[in-house]
Structure 1
Amino acid sequence: MHEPRRGRLTVYLGAAPGVGKTYAMLGEARRRGERGTDVVVGYVETHGRPHTTAQVQGLEVVPRRELVHRGTTFTEMDTDAVIARRPEVVCVDELAHSNVPGSRHEKRAEDIEQIRRAGIDVITTVNIQHLESLNDEVERITGVKQRETVPDEVVRTADQIQLVDMSPDALRRRMAHGNIYQADNIDASLTSYFRVGNLTALRELALLWLADRVDDALDDYRRAHRIDHPWPTKERIVVAVTGGAESETLLRRGARLAQRAAGSELLAVHVISTDGLAVPDDRRVAKVQQLVDSLGGSLHSVVGEDVPTSVVDFATGANATMIVVGVSRHGRLRRLFAGTTGDRVAQLAGSVDVHLVTHDQSARAGRPRWYLSPLSRTRQYAGLLLGLLLPVLLTVVLDHFHEPDQLPLDVLLFLALTVLVALVGGLVPALLAAVLGFVLMNWFFTPPLNRITVAEPENLVALLVFVAVAVAVATVVDRASRRAADAVRARAEAATLGALSRSVLTGTDTADAVVTRLRETFGQDAVSLLERTAAGWTVLASSGGPCASHPDDGDTKVTVDDDHLLVLCGSPLRASDRRVLEAFGVQTGLVLEYRRLRRREEEAAALEGAEATSTAVLRAVSHDLRTPLATMRASVDGLVSGSLDAADRAELVASVDSSTEQLERLIDNLLDLSRIQSGLMRPALTPRSLDEVLPLAVAGHGPGLVSLEVDEDAPLVLTDAGLLERVVANLVGNAVRLSGGEPVRVLAHVLAETVEVLVVDRGPGVPPAQRERMFEPFQRLDDSSPGGLGLGLAVARGLAESVGGSLAAEDTPGGGLTMVLTLPRALP
C-alpha cells in the first residue's frame, strides 16, 4: 500500500519587504494556470499595491475564514476549504504569519504543512528577517525585533527556494514612488528601516543563507546518489599537517595554490592517532593554528587509526579538489618496507589531485630510544633488582622440588616471573629476567644438567619460545605502561590547559592569578613574575611568599618574553612538565599584553578626545565667535554715531545684549572644552532625555520653520546635555537656512543600542562625493549650497565625537539632506 503523495513546497525568499515576493508568486501561479494546472489562491496580502492586485485578477481565490477576537473581526486562510477544493497548487502568502487566537493552528506554516499532507503543492513567500536563526542579527542591524518568525528548517527543507532580490537604491526608488507603502509612511520608512545600510546588510544575509542552502542541497544530492568522489564545484585545498617543522612549508604552499582561484578554501587537517603513542607537540600545533588563521584557512583535527586513510576520508567529505602532503621524514629502510604517507594518499585519493611538497625535514626523523622508560627511577632500579634476584630465588625453590619432565611448568613459572618484573620495572629489567631465566633453566633443569648444551630438540624449542614470549609480553607490558603514563599526563595537562584556555577567553586573569595557579599546579613553595627594568629586576607578582628577586635565585625559570621571567622556588620539575609550564608562560605573556593594550587604549582614547576637543575649539573660535562680535561692533558703531532716535538706539542695545549673552554662552562652552583638552575635566556623560534637550536646541526659530517630533517614551541617551544642545542647534540652524522656507523636521529613531537624532531638510542637498568635505572647516561647497555648510558642521561633528557620538549625512527622499546624529543609549 503506497503512502499518499506529499505536496511540494516552493518558497519565494525576499531580501527585504517590497522586493516583489508576492508579485513573483502570483506570476508563477498565472504561468502554471496557463499551462493547464489547477491553481488557486489560498491567501494573499496585496497591501493595496496596484501591480500586485492586478496579478490576482483572473485567479481563483478561496474565500477567507472570519474569526472574532476581542470584539474585532479578522480574516485568515480557510485551510479546510482549500483541502476540500483539492487544487493541484495553492498560493499562500506570508509563511511566518501568526494566526489569530482561536484558529486551529498557531502558525500559518502549520496550515501549509496540513495542506501538503493532503497532497497539494504550495507556493509561499517569506522575508529573510523572519527566519528564526537570523532574528537577533536583523534586530541588531535594523533596531526592529521581528515578532513573527518561522524555523529555518521549514524553509531549508523546501523543495525549491527562489530568491527575490533587488538593489537597495532600486528598492528605495520603488518606495519613494509609492509602490510599497502609503505616502504618509514613506519618509519615516526611508529614514529608518529602509536605509541603504540596512538593506545592504539584509541582502547579504539572504545571499549567504541561500548559499549555505545550495551547499546543503549539493551534499544531499551526493549522499542520495551515493557519489563518493568529490565534485569540483570550487577549489578546496586540504593540507595534511603533522605539527612538525615542515607544516609551515606545506601550509604556505597550499595557501599559494588556493589563491590562484577566486573563492577557494584552505583546509588544514591534523590526524590524531588512536594508538595513543604519538603525542603531538602542543606548541607546534598552536603555531600551526595561528598560521592557518593568518592564511585565511581553518584547522580540523580528526581521529583515525591510519593517517593516509583519515586524510583522504576528510578530503572526500569536504569535497576537496587537491590534497597537499609532504615528503616522508622517515629513513630509507622504513620507506622501503612500510611505504610513505604521500604514496598511500596518492593511491587512495582517486579523483582528488595530490600535491607532494619537498621540505628541509625530509628523511630527518629522530630515532626513538626504545630503552628509555616513562617509569620513575625508583621503579626501574627496583625492576633491575627483581630481575636479578627473582630468577635466582625461583631456581633455588624449583631445584629443591624439581621432578623429571617438569620443564613446561618451569617455563610457565619463569614466564610469570618475567611479566611481574615487567610490571614493576618496565622493558629492560624484564629482558634481563628473561635472559637470566633462559640461562638458569638451561643449566639446572634441561638435560644434560649443569651444562649449556640441550640434548632434546623439544627442550631447546621450549626455551627459545620462552624467551620470545617473555620478550613479547614484556614489550606489551612496557607499551601499556607508557600509554597509561601518557594518559595520566595528558589528562592532567588537558585539565590544566583547559583552565588556561578558559581564562584566556574570558580575559579575566591577572598576573597574581597566574602565578598562584602555577604554584598550585606544580606544588611549588613560591612563584614570582620578574620584570627587567633599567635599574634591574623587579617583582611584578608573587605567590607563596618571597621567592626570588633575581633569575639566579630560583630553581626553575620560564621565559615569558625578553623582559619578563617566571621563577619557581621548590622541587625541580620533570622534563615532561615543561609543556604545561610553557603554556603558563604564554598565558602570562597574554596577561601582560592585555595590560599593555588596555593602557594604550586608555591613552589613545584620551588623545583622541583631546584632539577632537582641540579641533572643536579652533572651529568654534573661527566661526561662532565672529558672528556675535560683528553684531556687537556694528551696534556699538551705531550707538557712538549719536544720530539715532530712541527706538533705533533701543534696538541696537537689544542686539548688543543678545550678542553678549550668546558670546558668554560660547565662551563658557569653549572654556569647558579647553579643560577637557588639558585633562582637567571630561564631558559630563549622564543619562539624559531627548525631550529635555532638543526643545532648547530648536528654540529661537520662527513658527513653522522647525517641526520637533520626539516620542516621550524615547529611551535616555548617555551624553553631555550642553554639548548635545550645541550640536543640534548647529544642525538645525544650517537646515533652516537651506530649506528655503520648508519646515525642518527633527526626529528621533530608536535602535537596539543607539538613538539617532535626524535633522531632515528639503534644501538642495549635497552630492555624495562632497559630503565628507562639508565637515571640514571653511568649506562652502561652491554654488550648490548657498550660505555654506562647512564651519557649523565641522564644529558639530567635533563636539559630537567628543561626547561619544557620531555625525553623518544622508539623502532626504524627495530631495534635501538628512543629518544623522548617533548617540549611545543609556544602560538601565
Structure 2
Amino acid sequence: MDDLKLNPNDVLRRVSEIESVKQTGQLKIFFGYAAGVGKTYAMLKEAHELKNKGVDVVIGYVEPHQRVETQALVEGLEQIDTQEIDYKGLKLQEFNLDEAILRKPKLVLVDELAHTNAEGCRHAKRYQDIEELLRAGIDVYTTVNVQHIESLNDMVQSITGVVVRERIPDDVFDNAAQIKLVDIEPNELLERLNSGKIYKKTQAQSATLNFFDIKNLTALREIALRRCADRINRISEKARQLENNGYYTEEHILVCLSSSPTNPKIIRTASRMASAFKGKFTALYVETSDFPSLEEETKKQLRANIHLAQQLGATIELVYGDDVPLQISEFARISGVSKIVLGRSSAKRKYYWSKPTLSERLTENAPNLDIYIIPEKGIPYYKKKKAQFENVTFDLRDTLISVALLVIATVLGTVFYQFAFSEANIITIYILSVLLTSIVTKQRIYSLISSVLSVLTFNYFFTVPRFTFTAYDSGYPVTFLIMFIAAFVTSSLAVKLKQHAKQSAQTAYRTKILLETNQLLQKTIKKDEIISVTANQLVKLFDKDIVVYMEEQGELQEPEIFKATLEETSKYITENEKAVAAWVFKNNKHAGASTNTLGSAKCLYLAIRANDNVYGVIGVALNHSTLESFENNILLSILGECGLALESQRAIKEREDAAVLAKNEQLRANLLRAISHDLRTPLTSISGNANILLASDEIMDHETKKKLYTDIYDDSLWLINLVENLLSVTRIEDGTMNLKCTSELIDEVINEALNHVNRNKVKHTIVVNHPDEFIFAKMDARLIIQVIINIVDNAIKYTPEGSMIAIDVKKTDHVVIDISDNGPGIPDEAKAKIFDMFFTGTSKIVDSRRSMGLGLALCKSIVLAHGGEISVHDNKPQGTIFRFTLPLEEVVIHE
C-alpha cells in the first residue's frame, strides 16, 4: 500500500533506474582486508556454480599467485587470451578488454580491481576497463582489498606504515551491485602465510615483518567490516531519499584545495566527513596572483589534488583573490557551508609576532563555521618558500624603460633642486618613478631594483656631499630607509593591482564567452549552425584548434576542424585520433590527452551530450598542455549548452515530423472516408440505372432511356472529375506535380475549360467578358483548365437554377481572373476555411451528392505553384467572387 502514496515522478524515476540497470552489467566485488583471505578462490568457486547452472562464464584475468587451490579452480572455465604489452623490454600480460567485449559473455571474471595497467593499454586503471565492460552490458566479478579504497588510504597508511599506490575511487565500490566480504580470522591468515599458501617463504618472512602482524590485520579487518556497514547505510539512505523526495540535510562540508603534498589526506578526511554527515561536499581553490609563476611540478600536484577531490565526489569551485581567508569565508557564507576542513600547517603560527593564521582569520571572518584541523604527520608546519626571483629573465625593453624613468626622475629632481624645492618633493618624484616602472614592466624584479637605485641615485645627486654615496646628516639613513620602503610598498601594490586587473579581465572574458555562447545558441536553428557556434566559441576561449565529429544515424561523421593556429592539423585526424573519438562517442566518457584513457592522443575528446543522448564528439588540441580546472568547467558548461541546443533542435524536428505524419494520416483517413461515402452515391446510381436498362429495355420509352443514359453519363463525369482531383492532390502532397509552363492565350484556356464544365451549366447563364486585347499568361494550361472547371462547377452546385456566372479577365502587372456568381454568397466564417482540404459548405442548394471538399483546395495549390494568389470576396449586391492571378506573359508579334 505504501507504493500508492508515491509521487508519479518517483515512480517514473524508479522505472527509469530499473531500465538503466537492465541495460548495463552488474558488478560484484569480493572484498577482503588483506591478501590471502580467499577472495579469488571464492570468486572462482561461485563462477563454477553459475556455470553448472548454464550461465556463460569466462575468465578475463586471474592473477597468477601460484596458489594450488586457486589454480585448480581455474581449470574447467573458459579463459580469454591476455594482451601482451612490451614495456621497457619486458613482456607484460594484461587483461584483453577488446577481446572480452567481442566475446560478450554473460559474466567475466577480472581479478585485482585496483591494478594499474601497463602503458599501451586503453585505460590507465583496471577499474576503468571494468566500467567499460559494465557499459557493454557484461556482468563482472572482481576482487579488491580494503587498503585500495581511496578515502581509506591515509588511515591504512597510518596503521601499517605502508603507502599503497594502487587505489580505486570510492564510488566504484559504493555503486557495485553486490559486495561479498571474504573474511577469516587474522590468526588463521597468519598460519596460511607461514605455511606458504599465500607467498613463497622468502616473501612470507618479509611480509610478516612489514605488513602481516596480528595488530595490523585486526585493525584492517575492523576497517573492512566498518566500510561494508557504511555501504549498507548509504544504500538505506538512498532508499529513504527515494521514498521522501523532500529529504534534505543542512550539512555542507568545504575542503580547501592547495598544491601541498599533504592536501590529499585533508581531502580524504573531508570526504569521509561528508559521507558520515550525509551532506554536500565542495572543494574550493583560491587562485592568487602568484599562480601564473608557480612551477609546473606544483601545478601538476594541484591538478592531482583537484582530480582526487572530483573522484571522491566533491564539487570543484574556483575563486580569485590574494586574501585567501576572506575569499574562503565569503564563499562559505554565500554557499551555506557549515564545516570547513583545513590542514594543521595552516593553523599554527611560526612566531608570536607572525600574522594571524588561516584558521584564525576564518574564525574571525566566519565565527559561526565549524573548522576542523587535520594533523599532517611527518610534514613540517612551514616549508621554506622558494626565492621569488630565482628564475627571473631580463627583457631589453623593460630594462630601457626602467632606466629611462630613473633618468627622467633624476632630471626632474635636478630642476626641483635648482629651484630650491624640498627634498620631500624630490623623493616623491622617485617614488612616482618606481610606481610607473612597476606598472609598465612585466616582472616584479624591475620595481625592486628601481627602489634600490632610486635611493642610491637620490643619495648621490641630492644629499650633501653631492656626487658621493656618503651623507653628513645623521638623519639621512632613516630618510633612505623610509624612501626605500615607500617605493617598494607602492610598487608592490601597483604590481598586485595589475595582476588583479589581469585576472579580472581574464575571468570577465571567460564569463563573456559563456554568456555569449548561450545567446548565440538560442538564435540558432540548424544543427550545423549550433556546432559552428560552439566550436568557434571554444576557439576564442582556448585559442586552440577544435575538432568536431557529428553524429548521424548513430554513427560519427568525418571530422571538421576549426583552426586557431597556423599549425598543421592533419595529426588531429589520424586513424588513432578517430578511434579515440569513436570510443568517447560509444562510452559517453572523456578520453585522450591529459586523461587516463587513451592518453597518447593529441586531443582531449569530450562527448556533446544532453542527458544520456550523445550528439557528437569535440576534441581540443592540447599539444602537451592541460586545461585548468576553471577552463575545464567552462568547457563542460559550453558543451552542455550545445547538447541542450542539439536536443532542442532534434525535439523540434521530431515534432515537425510527427506533425507531418499526423497530417498525412489525417489526409489518408479523410480520403478513405470520402471515398467510402462520396463514391457510393454515383456508383450506386450508375449500377442501378444500368441494371434498369438491362432488365427493361423492351418496355421503356425513349425519353426514359435518354434520362437514364444522361444520369449515367453525368455520374461518370463526376467520378472522372473526382479521380482527376484525387490524382492531382496526391501529386501535390508527394511533391511530384511538375509544371510545364508555356505562354497561353487566356480566352482559349477559358473556352476549353467551359467545354468540360458540368452538364448542369445549361440551367445557369455563363458569361465570359472578353478583354479588348489579347492577354497571354505563363501557365500549365492543363492545370489552369482544371482550376476554372472546379470553380465554375462549384458555382453551379451552390447557386440556384437561373443564376448568372461571369468570367472576367483583367490585365495589371499580372493577369487577374474573376469568376463571380449572384447566388446566396458564402458566410464570413466559412471564407477562412473555403480553400482547406475536405471543407464542404452547408448550403441547402447543393444536390444530394455530397462534395469531397477537394476542388477549391486543389485550385489553391495549383495557383500558388504558378506563383499566383487566390482569394474569395463578396459580389455586390449579392453572390461570390473567386479571384486568382497568373504571371503576365508579354508576347511580341513580328510583322
TM-score by length of 1: 0.38
Greater relative contact order: 1 or 2 (C-alpha under 8 angstroms, separation 6 or more)? 1
Larger radius of gyration: 2
Give the TM-score normalised by the residue count of structure 2. Answer: 0.35
